[in-house]
Amino acid sequence: MNTIQHWIDGSAVPGTDTAAVFDPATGQEQARVVLGGPDVVNTAFVAAERAFESWSESSLSQRTQVMFAFRQLLVEHEEELGRIISAEHGKTVADARGEITRGREVVEFACGLGDVLKGSFSDQVSRDVDVHNFRQPLGVVAGITPFNFPAMVPLWMHPIAIATGNTFILKPSERDPSAANFVAELYRRAGLPDGVFNVVHGGKDAVDAILAHPGIAAVSFVGSTPIAKYVHEQATSHGKRVQALGGAKNHAVVLPDADLEFAANHITAGAYGSAGERCMAVSVAVAVGDAADGLVEVLARKAREVKVGPGHVPGVEMGPLITKVAQERVENAVGIAATQGATVVVDGRGLKVEGHEDGFFTGPSLLDHVTAKMDAYRDELFGPVLAIVRVDTLDEAIAVINANPYGNGTALFTASGEAARRFQRKVEVGMIGVNVPVPVPMSYYSFGGWKDSLIGDSPIHGPEGIRFYTRPKVVTTRWPQPAQQVSAGFNFPTSS
């Protein structure tokens, strides 16, 4: 059986403790992954710190050349990496290729950092005095990433960190760890020096070691809100910069003037794609007024049409959940919703896929007449369950969203420009789509929600990513003529 090892200083590093990696489509163990703790984290830090000495002094051209080469290797190996992700996560290969593409966009943004990193210069701010500024890397930084996007979310972090001159330690999810090692090998082939990118596998011991390590300057995290709060608290208490992105409960509002077929198509994909295991998944459809009955009818039909099966099979639209525990949690949530008064319009529980009866499959579920007091609304289920909440007006829909503790993403389906403008100005959410169900911004914008979806104030990638992984210097200079006498004052200096 294959054992997935750490990647430190340009080569695989073994370990003694291991955990199982499952194939979600069969329910069978397919590999083992080593689990590291403080010693392995420190070994990775030492390698990264040593590499930082030269990498931070490398030219911007050298760094972007590596990024261009790395980007091309991601293109050439997209299918292979997609199948690796599908085999360990369960999502379809097409969906996996999609996440690689969205991650690659951040690499492309990193290829253009020469323009983004340009400082500014002010001539003659005082007599014979000029001022300019520039940004420098922090040092050794780390990323702690979730299972649901084993390629994309790390790619939102390390290309920008590395291109700005930092060195990086990645702690991926131990549930689907192979993508991280594959990316490490692509970096090596792209010419990245040893020690600049390292992978440490493990669980809470590895996370806590990263958060407490005195030499790691910054930590990026994506995961659930309780863990995001823990990461933010622990890392900041040890003097680190922190990006901590948490959970979500994303609403899609449908107005009576919307094209219901169009809206239902996109909401179905947004709710059930990747088996709902996305922090930007549509988990609540808010049906306004007369839109409700027609929307539920179309959504029910489309939910029943979703093709569920192993992710590598052509034509499959939704694969299994990541673990047996996740499958049981989601199916229990549907049962609890029914006892609390929701109408189970489509019941995905108990689905068996022929030839994969032990896989972690559950079908799409659609719940109607859900209220804000029900568990199915309050909890982030992270599975293929779509809840319908009925309201009378757009203002009521906005109030429902704003009362929710999360503020990651939301969408509005409408033909009214006035309604769309009112919605995007009034709703308390960080990322908004108008007739777009999953409004993940492009790489040259930053990703981050409001409220409990973002702990602290540091979104990820884009301009905010540049600021997070660098710190500014402002330089004030005077070059007097050799014979010039310039008197010095004892008062606070001014620009006179």
SS3 356: strand
For residue 279, indicate whether it is catalytic: yes
Return the amino acid letter for 353.
V
Residue 96 — φ and ψ, nearest 5°? -65, -40
Cα–Cα dist 126/489, whole Å = 14
Tokens encoding 482: 């050799």
Tokens encoding 420: 């769309």
Tokens encoding 9: 């200083």
The count of other CB atoms within 10 Å of the CB of residue 80 is 10
Residue by residue, DSSP assigns 364-423 as -EEEES--TTSHHHHS---SSEEEEEEESSHHHHHHHHHHSSEESEEEEE-S-HHHHHHH
Q: Which residue out of 151, 227, 279, 334 is catalytically annotated?
A: 279
Strand (E) or helix (H) holding 50: helix 38-55
**In angstroms, how far apart are the furthest CA atoms of the chain?**
91
Measure CA of the first residue to CA of the last residue in the chain; give whole Å: 74
Cα–Cα dist 26/495, whole Å = 72
Q: What is the DSSP letter of 318?
A: B
Strand (E) or helix (H) holding 287: strand 282-288
Show which residues are catalytic.
279
